[in-house]
Chain A
Amino acid sequence: MSKRKHEIKLFEPALVNTAIKQSFVKLSPRLMIKNPVMFTVEVGTFVMLAVVLYQLGTKDSTQGALWYNIVVFAILLLTVLFANFAEALAEARGKAQAESLRKTREETPAKKVLLPGDIFVKEIKVVPSSQLRLGDRFVCEPGDVIPMDGEIIEGIATIDESAITGESAPVIREAGGDKSSVTGGTKVLSDRIVVQVTTQPGETFLDKMIALVEGASRQKTPNEIALTILLAAFTLIFIIVCVTLKPFADYANTPITIAAFISLFVCLIPTTIGGLLSAIGIAGMDRALRANVISKSGKAVETAGDVDVLLLDKTGTITIGNRKATNFYPANGVGQKEFIEQVVYGSLADDTPEGKSIVELAAKQVNPNLSPDQFRDQHLAVHNAPVTFIKFTAETRSSGVDLPDGTKIRKGAFDAIRNMAQKAGNTVPKEVEEQVKKISSDGGTPLVVAVNNEIKGVIELQDIIKPGIQERFERLRKMGVKTVMVTGDNPLTAKYIANKAGVDDFIAEAKPEDKMNYIRKEQATGKLVAMMGDGTNDAPALAQADVGVAMNSGTQAAKEAGNMVDLDNDPTKLIEVVEIGKQLLITRGTLTTFSIANDVAKYFAIVPALFIASIPALQHLNIMGLKSPESAILSAIIFNAIIIPMLIPLALKGVNYKPIGASALLRRNLLIYGVGGVVVPFIGIKLIDMLLSVFM
């Protein structure tokens, strides 16, 4: 996982206090009914309360000792409270996490631009940020904190986004492009921008997410619903078990107290997973937020775990930024130093990242002490007359300079320069042609330099693959996720990089609609596709993808279309999101298994305890050797109650995900949570019984 700046301790005292209060508020049956398993426990608690009150009134002792019933009542109440506490703590943590992001954008003065219709057109008025509405415009100047989320409509600025992303390097945001969005709470470092507010106050993605976490608008995901049904079915089975036990016991002439019935029932129903289910879901969203991803629904996180295909942009995700110059190959008869000189002149007019990287490499090779800019200025300063820049055009497909002495230096694609040279009657040196072919087949881009239409040598540009990215793709492959690289490169180069980085497939010479088509094609075969994007032309594809992560720096359209927003603008974030999704499902599955496996031991504690008085032979089933029927039942329900808070850390942090293949993972989790689920309660109940036998 990436930076965890907003780390909150698991049991942060302030949060625990809120959660404790909330656990009581949540006792309201109207809220409890949403969780059928815990609701039945609450009903059981009320029944025990009635039994206690009845005993207090009538001194009837057929229902067992009063103190015993009071203890049972208290433990059941605790069980419900523990479950509520788990949910409340998850909510509080999620909320705190979101709040810590929201805090950055509290009341700040905003320089609002008055629009036509207002009295002073285009005049600027300082208002509190809370007064800004959708569509309002405001101005930011160096040093200003941006008051609201919005889109730059005028200007370009460097912005410090460290408040949100933790990244100290400033970023550039400008009007019109795909990097036009600014986030409230970030700081303008240079230049002046005019920003248009894109959301109504209280309706930002963060606000929506907080509402999700708080439960008001949280909807159960399809998977959560299916699990709830399964748990309800188990609960029903145990209702049948407990209800039919009454005539069975009558037949065996065994009186069973209400407390014993309810204890058996509460122990059997899957309270552990029932109590932790919603906490697990909230914690999933919370973990996403911790990775600086805002998810617009719980479902999005869950779907991420299911994704089969990941669409990744080459630039920024697989390779570092843009292509870089890596080598200079002069033609025969041209000296290395002389060639570099020519190369530098040829690149002076080229202010693309590639052009800059050529100067950079040249500077490094000639004079490592100079910065590229100094190096560049030095070269320009040699000539007392101004040099003429020849800009790149689509027709010439080359760029360069005309020096005052009439020397024409050009740099460009091989065929463009070749044509130029051949037109002037020059031949192409054989070794240059070979070098060009070699570079192309290695996935690089060759640029050829000519001086006065005479070819002097080749520059090699290469993509630099991010270190460690191969391992990440390997990890994804083990998860069963197919990775697809999207690039504007030609198929040959794309294939080379795809192979080198270890992605499974690539889309070369990609146009925006190609992404869309690819997503549609994969979805038609039943696969789930995730992608990340930022531009307006990504928006349709983001909407079409099952998981669309928009970069926060991206356009508003992109952010609206996706179902997650990444505050870090980190293209590798998709990989983390997939793992968070998987972790969410696994945590649910393993705790369900654990919860149900627990019942075996509880049966062995309670069933002999119920019948031992009238069927002494059943003492053989008391394999734990529990002291008395009362201590056996109490031990079982105490274990049942305290296992919930003990598992809260696991529920909130999530079960570790290991990409070791589905079958191996199932074996591992079955062993830990299935077999463990059978064994742990035997030990736990026995220990509690030993402890109780000191008092009883």
Chain B
Amino acid sequence: MNTELFGVLITFLLTIILAIPLGKYMAKVFAGERTITDFMNPFERLIFRISGIDPKAGMNWKQFLKALLSINLLWFVYAFFVLIFQNKLPLNPDGNPGQTPDLAFNTAISFLVNCNLQHYSGESGLTYFTQLFVVTFLQFVSAATGIAALVALFNGLKEKTTSNLGNFWNLLVKSTTRILLPLSIVMGIILAFNGTPASFDGKDTITTLQGDTVQVSRGPAAGMIAIKQLGTNGGGWFGANSAHPLENPNYFTNIIESIAILLIPMALVFTLGFYLNRKKLAYVIFGVMTFLFLVFVSINIYFETKGNPAIDRLGVAQHIGSMEGKEVRLGSAATAFWSIATTSTSNGSVNGMHDSLTPISGGVAILDMMINALYGGVGVGLLNYYIFIIIAVFISGLMVGRTPEFMGHKVEAREVKIAALITLLSAFLIKSGTALAAYFVSHHPGLAWSVKPAAWLNNPSYHGFSEMLYEYTSSNANNGSGFEGLGDNNIFWNVTTGIVLILGRFLPIIGPVAIAGLLANKKYIPESAGTLRTDSITFGGMTLAVIIIVNALSYFPALALGPLAEYFSLK
């Protein structure tokens, strides 16, 4: 058990050690300074020339968002149709069928919004072509979109007064060529050397020790697994994601993949410090995120390594913890750590089944996705955290008797309105989605749909409720992991979660970028002795309090009816 804890600790420390230099490097990339990746210059210039883009042309927040949203719409249309017609396209050695329109809608949206709410299994639901040119492609550009939006926020904070948030196209391209591609190449090679397939051949047939033959799916998986971890997308090549022995072969790859989940989101926090030259602010933000992250990790490791009380009562010893839905080669502690890493960062990859987590761990995973700002998805995590900062700034500004200001700009009614709406949005999407599903399950269980509401839930009672709650929380957070007991590949779930995915992705990008644009346009107010410092531990504590209170107030009843009720009943 101590070895397992040590493994978790090493993983986390290694992540921090790697994240700091990466954060510094990214700050240089965004500032246009010289970096070791300058050899990409000709390639980028080629892209800009072909697309007729002037990468130096500044954009105000409206132009920036317009560019961001229009290219995303284009990608959606492209992905939707390619998925439907994938059976007619090349690179389909296993002869997999095209997707149904509702599944294609859900899949396209899912990857567009940097999520992996895969209501299919990769082995049978996609072809190599769509794995590469839809899923992997979107895994790169959706992550780059998030980073670009975050840098727009940085640019708004960097200048005293400006309307220029940077050029979206430039940031999109450079995030891909300078950050995501190089890191993915390194990681893909590591994975391939550890046994992850990287082949265009179809299914392989092997004979097991028992003598029967088994079909084993494979494909060019290593590269995609690298970007799904690094880009906080999480969409696995195989249905079982990183619990699959080919997707995550051994404890070493598990460490690499765990680090990859947290690396860029964590590094971006440091980037904020380097890019804005406000290192202390970055450390305070990092501190708040890390504090809550470690609290969650500790809770989950405690409950997962302790085992299930119901099994205890049967007199069965659980020395290695609760192993239902976990991989023996990884262990309960590593899975508990991953469950928090993946839900913190809206990654959504799993190395064990979250449906099988003990009630409190499952509840913490849900809560973690509700907060969705502990490091968070690449780029968007910090944007979410920024919303909490705005609310914390507003309330604490009042508490010290000054009209609130953040980094030299007054926070007034308009910004508070946007921040409040974004906060409200999560609660609205998660709770109304779950309420709708619960309504059908309890009032119309026998509806003549392809899958009857009564058949949605694999588990009755509290856990069934948690399955629904998890699905919508995961959708809103663009996380993508699921309590997989839920029968979710049908029109109701595909469409409703699809809508939640879109709203849960783009509004929380639009809101913070708009606030950044509005604030940056305002007159700059120099700091004085009366200014409330936002890079102090006190203010960090205030932000932490806002995060906890807002989420506790929004979700306490739902969490009480799902995970808490299950936990207390099991006790």
Contacts and interface: CB of A to CB of B under 8 A. Distances in A.
Interface in A217-254: 222-223, 225-227, 229-230, 232-234, 236-238, 240-241, 243-248, 250-253
B434 interface: yes
Interface stretch (A138-146, A321-329, A415-423, A597-605): A597-605
A245 B557 contact: yes
B395 interface: yes
A662 interface: yes
B270 to A, nearest CB: 23
Q: Which of B403, B416, B441, B536 has the most CB of A within 10 A?
A: B403
Contacts of A600: 549, 552-553
A583 B530 contact: no
Interface stretch (B184-192, B502-510, B521-529): B521-529
Given A596-B549, A667-B538, A670-B541, A662 B417 contact: no
B532 A247 contact: no
A672 to B, nearest CB: 10
B395 A593 contact: yes
A160 interface: no
Contact of A229 (B417, B434, B568, B569): B417
B400 A662 contact: yes
A666 B561 contact: no
B524 A526 contact: yes
Contact of B529 (A230, A526, A661, A669): A661
Contact of A305 (B399, B402, B434, B558): B402
Contacts of B545: 670, 674
A479 to B, nearest CB: 5
Given A590-B399, A607-B560, A247 B541 contact: no
Given A229-B413, A251-B442, A308 B530 contact: yes
Interface stretch (B58-66, B149-157, B230-238, B421-429): B421-429
A611 B435 contact: no
A381 to B, nearest CB: 59
A290 interface: no
B193 interface: no
Interface string A618-641: 111100000000000000000000
A286 to B, nearest CB: 18
Interface string B396-437: 111111110000100111001100110110011001101110
Nearest to A600: B552
A308 B413 contact: no
Contacts of A694: none
Interface string A570-612: 0000000000011111101110110011011001000110010
B528 A308 contact: yes
Interface string B290-310: 000000000000000000000
Contacts of B105: none
Contacts of B431: 240-241, 244
A607 B532 contact: no
Range of interface residues on A (Cβ < 8 Å): 35 or more
B552 A588 contact: no
A657 B530 contact: no
B85 interface: no
B526 A525 contact: yes
B416 to A, nearest CB: 4
Contact of A248 (B443, B549, B558): B558
Nearest to B553: A599
Contacts of B526: 525-527
A515 B502 CA distance: 55
B398 A250 contact: no
B402 A306 contact: yes
A297 B212 CA distance: 87
A92 interface: no
B400 A241 contact: no
A349 interface: no
B435 A244 contact: yes
B557 A230 contact: no
A597 B560 CA distance: 19
Nearest to B416: A226
B532 to A, nearest CB: 4
A585 B396 CA distance: 10
A669 B400 contact: yes
A477 interface: yes
A288 interface: no
B529 A480 contact: yes
Contacts of A619: 568
Contacts of B443: 250
A481 B532 contact: no
A431 B408 CA distance: 55
Given A583-B401, A674-B545, A247 B529 contact: no
Given A308-B528, A525-B526, A589-B399, 20 more contacts: A234-B553, A236-B424, A240-B424, A241-B557, A244-B431, A244-B558, A247-B435, A248-B434, A248-B558, A251-B438, A252-B561, A526-B523, A526-B526, A527-B525, A588-B398, A600-B549, A600-B552, A619-B568, A663-B536, A670-B399
30 contacts: A229-B417, A234-B553, A236-B424, A237-B427, A240-B431, A241-B553, A241-B557, A244-B431, A248-B438, A248-B465, A251-B438, A251-B439, A252-B565, A308-B530, A478-B529, A481-B530, A527-B526, A585-B403, A589-B398, A589-B401, A593-B395, A600-B549, A607-B560, A611-B560, A615-B565, A661-B529, A662-B402, A665-B400, A665-B401, A674-B545
Interface of A: 222-223, 225-227, 229-230, 232-234, 236-238, 240-241, 243-248, 250-253, 268, 302, 305-306, 308, 477-482, 525-527, 581-586, 588-590, 592-593, 596-597, 599-600, 603, 607-608, 611, 615, 617-621, 657, 661-663, 665-667, 669-670, 673-674
User: Closest 4 A-B residue pairs measured CB to CB?
Assistant: A480-B530, A589-B398, A582-B401, A233-B420
